[in-house]
Amino acid sequence: MMLWLKKITKIWTSAAAIAAIFCLGTVGAAHAQEPLKFNYGVPKADYYIVYVAKDLGLFQKHGLEPNFFFFTTGAPLLAGLKSKSLDVFTTGLASAFALGQDIPVKLLFWSLDDAPGEGLVVSAKSGIASYKDLAKAKAIGVPSGTCAQVALGLMARKAGVKYSDLKTVNIAPALYANAFASGSIDAGVTWAPYPQALAESGHKIVNYDSDYDGICPVLTGARTEFLKQHPDVGLKLVQITAEARATIEKNPQLAVDALVKYLSVTPTVAKATYDRLCCSRHPTFAQQVDPGSPYSLVSGSGGLVDKLHTATQILADVGSIPAPLAKEAIAAAIDASYVRQFVEAQKK
């Protein structure tokens, strides 16, 4: 009888152990962190940090699984934010248009400063040596409502010329080469990689942004509602961007290859684009939480607030938008908390 009891007790004990292991495994599987799926909108531009982060699987490494939507312009991106089809975005002045349309979004950090890649390109026969000669241009290519139009407005201001006196053509930068070839334009203002590609074709870049203090912030942001539902996403996006930047600094060829892949440009144009935008021109996260920095997210009147206000002021002056954004509205849309968390963590 005792022997039978010992055997049955042993069986029960073994069964309980197996059951416990099974239950623990089930609980563990149930609580395993599933990657967060969301929709990420990006215009097809020179945003090599996003491309490299995507190709290296850095989003998945941080528990995110974005479904990327690449757009030719910012207009469909805005429509996606308005319809709540997109959750996260990286874009240029489309972020300002989102605020102007009262789309509830938060601007989280600078991904790039695209202004260094902007330029005034002219045909060899134009007789234009710099932006000071803009009045001589027969026709200037400039896409409406973009960083390029802001750049042309800044050039006109500095040259003492009325924007309304310039002969402009609202044309997409991808069409500049044909427009130059046909003589439809003899000058054009655009962002990378288009100036570099046009230069490769024999046209001249006569000015870069440093000559006229260009403005073209590339920002990463998200819908306010999405951030409330997933409060850890903001910090993860900062961490992913920081890791992508650090990896690119060690191996710049990653950025060059990404530009070739995503924008279908030559390796020469891709390298020229990267060289214009990279390295010391990247707004650091420390600069973004410095009130005195030109890239500041935390200054109520300077930094990003001032840049977006000035850009929209120019767009309003030239008739592309009805009114500039108020500085208070811009400041209210910026959420620097995630960059602050990241910078503080780096100090430890």
Identify which has the larger pLDDT, 24 or 177.
177
Query: In the predicted model, is pLDDT for residue 2 greater than 70?
Result: no
- For 143-182, write each residue's pLDDT tens digit: 999 999 999 999 999 999 999 999 999 999 999 999 999 9
- For 189-246, write each residue's pLDDT tens digit: 999 999 999 999 999 999 999 999 999 999 999 999 999 999 999 999 999 999 999 9
Residues 6 or more apart in contact with residue 85 via CB below 8 angstroms: 39, 79
Residue 32: pLDDT band with limits 50, 70, 90: low
Per-residue pLDDT, 344: 96
In whole angstroms, give the CA distance from residue 219 to residue 89.
8
Averaged pLDDT for residues 296-318? 96
Identify which has the larger pLDDT, 3 or 138.
138
Domain 36-113+216-347 identical in fold to domain 117-211? yes
- For 61-80, write each residue's pLDDT tens digit: 999 999 999 998 888 999 99
- For 273-283, write each residue's pLDDT tens digit: 999 999 989 99
Q: What percent of the chain has a predicted confidence (pLDDT) above 70?
A: 91
Residue identified by tokens 């961490």 is 239
| Domain locations in the chain as residue ranges | 36-113+216-347, 117-211
Per-residue pLDDT, 168: 97
Per-residue pLDDT, 74: 85
Question: Does residue 331 contact residue 298 with C-beta atoms inside 8 Å?
Answer: no
Q: Cα 52 to the chain's mean position, in Å? A: 13
Per-residue pLDDT, 5: 35
Per-residue pLDDT, 149: 96
Averaged pLDDT for residues 295-299? 97
Averaged pLDDT for residues 283-298? 97
**CB neighbour burial string for 89-111, b if at least 16 within 10 angstroms, e if fewer:** bbbbbbbbbbbbeebebbbbbbb
Residue 161 dihedral angles phi and psi, to the nearest 5°: -115, 140
Residue identified by tokens 């912030």 is 217
Superfamily of domain 36-113+216-347: Periplasmic binding protein-like II (3.40.190.10)
CATH number 1.25.40.80 is the correct assignment for the domain at 117-211: no
For 37, the 3-state DSSP assignment is strand
